[in-house]
Chains A and B, each alone.
Chain A
Amino acid sequence: MAGADGDDSLYPIAVLIDELRNEDVQLRLNSIKKLSTIALALGVERTRTELLPFLTDTIYDEDEVLLALAEQLGNFTMLVGGPEYVHCLLPPLESLATVEETVVRDKAVESLRKISQEHSPVDLEVHFEPLVKRLASGDWFTSRTSACGLFSVCYPRVSSTVKAEIRQHFRTLCSDDTPMVRRAAASKLGEFAKVLELEYVKSDIISLFTALASDEQDSVRLLAVEACVSIATLLPQEDLETLVMPTLRQAAEDKSWRVRYMVADKFSELQKAVGPEITKNDLVPAFQNLLKDCEAEVRAAAANKVKEFCENLPEDNREQIIMTHILPCVKELVSDTNQHVKSALASVIMGLSTILGKDNTIEHLLPLFLAQLKDECPEVRLNIISNLDCVNEVIGIRQLSQSLLPAIVELAEDAKWRVRLAIIEYMPLLAGQLGVEFFDEKLNTLCMAWLIDHVYAIREAATCNLMKLVEKFGAEWAQNTIVPKVLGMANDPNYLHRMTTLFCINALSKACGQEITTKQMLPVVLKMSNDQVANVRFNVAKSLQKIGPILDSNALQTEVKPVLEKLASDTDMDVKYFAQEAISVPPSHSSLFTPLAAVILEPQSPQRTTTFSPSVRWKVLAADGATSC
């Protein structure tokens, strides 16, 4: 063992070094991922004096290895001796934070942020903050980009002189001449603002924010929009108008659609941050403009926010604002030329009914729902159908059922299988809301038709759908409406359809219960063991294994066992394999199946019993082990 010879403590690092130099990246990666093991074996002292310098010196490797290293080092505090020594981890992480590859750098910054919390205030000033400064004034843009993410973690815990320096560095990076750095600074602006004292938010952050928001590159300007949310939250209401709103108004009308898109995308957050008064006066018209934007991308992003925006309007005149300002735009979007816009709207529009109440919904929204249910784009119809529950609560689904049905039927027969798949997934929900009668009358045929779809994924989903329906409507319903049709397919000339019968049985047997399974399903399965197609036969074996736990032991012994034995000597090797599998390996969780294996494995014994002595049970276990090992 490890401690047997005295010098053994040396070999972990030897292995590591050896492996780190291996040509195979995978081995180097393994080695890095075990770094904590190695550090543990070395002890804190040698980890600090040998391992870390070694790692710092050898940082030139594939990015994947570096990524693993950056991640590991974030969790190394205990392994170097606790918070008191945590600064030992800074040199390797510092060089990782200057690497070109973004994921590595980001991970290094993440680890640095993590260990910054473990620094004492003194160490933070002596070790961490100088590192941030070095990064912030690095030659190549990568180190400056990394620095942007580190200001906010050290700022709150350093002295006021150092704070002033940090603010100065951040300012410099916000006007860096590479756009990559300005983007990084802009994306951290909000986070940095949060840790600053309010006076500096007003004096420093606002001017940086204004500058970034009017940067020459739209990729920078759009990030300023994100920061706008945090900044607006920090400022007192009375300052918002002068400090934030001019910039925000400008962003909402930016000439680049990317910036306007960002405003639309962050609209709910902005709304919350600026409060109800400004929302009423400024954001409502801005939102209207975004809903009418010339770029579909922007309209779609805004359409997505319609419900949230309306929900968060001040309650006193919410209805009036919606009815006079928002709804007219929404009406136009229903017949937008772009399908993404319509489908974004369709995914939220139903939510308006709870806000507007029954009468408004019937008068104003229902015509829109109906129009969208007839939309040429399947995604739009699907989005309406998938949100039916909101309307159901307000006006009941019956109002819609006349238009609903043609829409469902058309989706059910859509040429794209993904669309069909999507509508199948809503069937149980629809069935629950429309009730069993409506379902039997209108939708049952559809559900059965999916079973013989030419795409396997649809047949599979249809099977699963049946199971959920049975869970909803009960075994008796199943016996009358579904089971006969499913079993009928066992005689279909197409073997894929015959297999579907088996898949349905697998899915339905549990929900249908022992009675139906034994009396109606089992005979069909057993009969199919004579099928001429091997795929059907081995699926019989699989099905028997699945439904075994539901059957009683008598049926298992007298009916299932002989069939499986016959299949176990089939000419086809796959059939044999699955038959043997069914005989020997019980499904993992069912204890019921053990007797089946036992029954079948005791062919020599003259009298077969259904109860076992402990010794027999042990034999079964042993035999089980033998076949599965």
Chain B
Amino acid sequence: MSAISASEKVDGFTRKSMRKAQKQRKSQGSSQYRTHTAPVELSPLPQLKDAPSTEQQELFTQKLQQCCMLFDFLDSVTDLKSKEIKRATLNELVDYVSTNRGVLVEPAYPEITNMICTNIFRILPPSENPDFDPEEDEPTLEAAWPHIQLVYEFLLRFLENPDFQPSIAKRYIDQKFVLQLLELFDSEDPRERDFLKTILHRIYGKFLGLRAFIRKQINNIFLRFIYETEHFNGVAELLEILGSIINGFALPLKAEHKQFLMKVLIPLHTAKGLALFHAQLAYCVVQFLEKDPTLTEPVIRGLLKFWPKTCSQKEVMFLGEIEEILDVIEPTQFKKIQEPLFKQISKCVTNPHFQVAERALYFWNNEYILSLIEENIDKILPIMFGSLYRISKEHWNPTIVALVYNVLKTLMEMNCTLFDELTSSYKADRQREKKKEQEREELWKKLEELKLSDMPLVQNNSHGLPSVQNNNNNNNNSNSNHEDQERSAAAVTADDKDPDATAAVSESTPCAK
């Protein structure tokens, strides 16, 4: 408490990252261990390779059972010997399943999965840091990693063993197993998520019967993340798996897959922590569009619907994704969405945040996009012209202004006559817009007045004339005798005072002004 850094003395608002850096990298144990009873000391078993082949299977089972013992890694002094024995045994087991053939006999399957489940399936503990910011904070690492890592390694080697038989394993690696595996993706430890990613991918590849279930559960995780908690650490990893899954979808795409794209992947763009998984997300979206170009229009309309309103960083990401989509778009699809899309792009180039404007203007460096624009210049130029012309005069950032001049030049070369027309009508157009704006205000004002004139009537209603017909009549009256009503309303407020006095009051107000 006494050690106050100089910066903290000067300014109470030290940067978050600075404060965080002072903290040490923390690790935490699983919630599971602490509910267990104290472990019994382990005694080393003979090495598998030294055992006669007839006893190997029995020894293998014993070792698997030995590895079901769990230890407290937050306590770094107790059970050191047993921890070491388990670590060595796990290493040996990993080695045993990856180098030997014929070890995966049927009775071994339940023992193997039991050992795996006991070790890795645990309730993740509450986050040490409730407002964990994955972009800035150091993740809390799993304390038991020295053992858990080896168990994951073992699981992976088990799945990859050439003798591995899904038909036997499916009795143990079932829906419940997958569900628990998916829950672990919320782990804060990136090393763990990385293992999980590879493992789930293997399971998806080997167990055809689980595929639909895995996809559905991932859906559920995402939907919960989007609409309920906004918190799940493994979104990027799950998307990475999906990226390769989508790649293998058969054509024509099933309705289920299209629904996943439109109702899950597109809304995922609204997440606060988009930056953490945007690359993987955009990859998935583009994969879909490469499979089925007819999805382009709904996807782009979806992105436009969720276009960020205040977060510039996200806006840059959206623009990046749009460029990735445009890279693979078919010209016929482009025609369908060019208008709404370029209206958005035209807003982006006028963005006061130079990174947003710059990212949008970079589209004009892309040869393919240029060719699409050129093909549709009659439609696009009128949309873009006003914004470009205005920021060429107004933007505060000289780089942006320079870029805009280049873009204007490119556009002019594409259709010189249209460009000239737009230049000469620019002023008139602006004026027309302004006039429209004024008209709108006028209209609303009129509506307001209507409402004002209806006011006394609404009050009447609430005072005990619930009849609908009455309401209707009053409504008509008020439309025709608006001025009368206003006067009578004024008289009502004056009520018992001298009418002359109230008149004086209301007249004196303009005088004073």
Contact = CB atoms under 8 A, between A and B. Distances in A.
Given A2-B453, A454-B9, A621 B512 contact: yes
A481 interface: no
B12 A3 contact: no
Interface string A214-229: 0010110000000000
Nearest to B301: A60
Interface string B312-350: 000000000000000000000000000000010000000
Interface stretch (B27-35, B189-197, B389-397): B27-35
Nearest to B36: A294
Contacts of A165: none
A204 B450 CA distance: 54
Contact of B482 (A2, A11, A15, A294): A2
Nearest to A256: B123
Interface string A125-150: 00000000000000011000000000
Contacts of B34: 294-295
A38 B35 CA distance: 63
Given A2-B482, A78-B461, A15 B343 contact: no
Given A415-B1, A629-B513, A2 B227 contact: no
Contact of B479 (A9, A19, A256, A296): A9
Interface string A257-300: 10000000000000000000000000000000000001111000
A81 interface: yes
Given A1-B449, A294-B35, A255 B220 contact: no
A141 B224 CA distance: 11
A625 B512 contact: yes
A436 to B, nearest CB: 31
Contacts of B447: 12, 15, 34, 37-38, 41
B8 interface: yes
A56 interface: no
A180 B223 contact: yes
Interface string B465-485: 010100110010011111100
B125 A141 contact: no
Contacts of B20: none
Given A37-B450, A257-B125, A376 B1 contact: yes
B305 interface: yes
A27 B439 CA distance: 13
Contacts of B126: 257, 295-297
A82 B8 contact: no
Contacts of A183: 228
Contacts of A15: 443-444, 447
Interface in B354-391: none
Query: Which of B4, B12, B444 has its CB near the most chain A CB atoms (within 10 A)?
Result: B12
Nearest to A8: B479
Nearest to B266: A100
Interface string A9-46: 10110010001000100010010001001101101110
A336 to B, nearest CB: 14
Contacts of B466: 78, 82
A589 interface: no
B480 A3 contact: yes
A34 B445 CA distance: 12
A37 B453 CA distance: 11
A65 to B, nearest CB: 11
Interface in B470-513: 471-472, 475, 478-483, 511-513
A399 to B, nearest CB: 26
A18 B157 CA distance: 64
B341 to A, nearest CB: 13
A410 B263 CA distance: 55
A629 B9 CA distance: 45
A555 interface: no
B471 A179 contact: no
A190 to B, nearest CB: 19
Nearest to A30: B444
B31 A295 contact: yes
B1 A179 contact: no
Given A1-B483, A3-B479, A255-B32, A40 B263 contact: no
Interface residues of A, number: 58
A455 interface: yes
Contact of B35 (A100, A180, A255): A255
Nearest to A218: B123
B176 interface: yes
B454 to A, nearest CB: 5
Contacts of B31: 256-257, 294-295
Interface in B140-154: none
B451 interface: yes
Contact of A43 (B4, B176, B458, B475): B475
B211 to A, nearest CB: 16
Nearest to A12: B447
A140 B263 contact: yes
B251 interface: no
B267 interface: yes
A572 interface: no
Contacts of A34: 444, 447, 451
Contacts of A19: 440
Interface in B252-280: 263, 267
A101 interface: yes
A164 B230 CA distance: 37
Given A294-B34, A294-B35, A415-B1, A2 B449 contact: yes
A102 interface: yes
Contacts of B478: 2-3
B123 A12 contact: no
Given A15-B443, A416-B12, A2 B450 contact: yes
A97 B446 CA distance: 33
B250 interface: no
Interface in B212-228: 220, 223-224, 227-228
B105 interface: no
A45 B179 CA distance: 54
A569 interface: no
B40 interface: no
Nearest to B512: A625
Contacts of A2: 446, 449-450, 453, 478-479, 482
A3 B482 CA distance: 7
Nearest to B223: A180
A101 B269 CA distance: 13
Contacts of A495: none
Contacts of A9: 479
B10 interface: yes
A60 to B, nearest CB: 9
B472 A44 contact: yes
Contacts of B454: 37, 40-41
Nearest to B472: A43
A426 interface: no
A1 B468 contact: no
B8 A415 contact: yes
6 closest cross-chain pairs (CB), A and B: A294-B34, A3-B480, A3-B479, A417-B12, A415-B4, A1-B482
14 contacts: A12-B450, A27-B440, A40-B475, A41-B450, A100-B267, A141-B223, A219-B224, A256-B123, A257-B123, A295-B34, A378-B1, A415-B9, A455-B12, A629-B513
Interface of B: 1, 4, 8-10, 12, 31-32, 34-35, 123, 125-126, 176, 179, 220, 223-224, 227-228, 263, 267, 305, 343, 440, 443-444, 446-451, 453-454, 458, 461, 466, 468, 471-472, 475, 478-483, 511-513
Interface of A: 1-3, 8-9, 11-12, 15, 19, 23, 27, 30, 34, 37-38, 40-41, 43-45, 62, 78, 81-82, 100-102, 140-141, 178-180, 183, 216, 218-219, 255-257, 294-297, 376, 378, 410, 414-418, 454-455, 457, 621-622, 625, 629
Given A78-B471, A219-B224, A454-B10, 7 more contacts: A23-B343, A34-B444, A82-B466, A183-B228, A255-B35, A415-B4, A625-B513
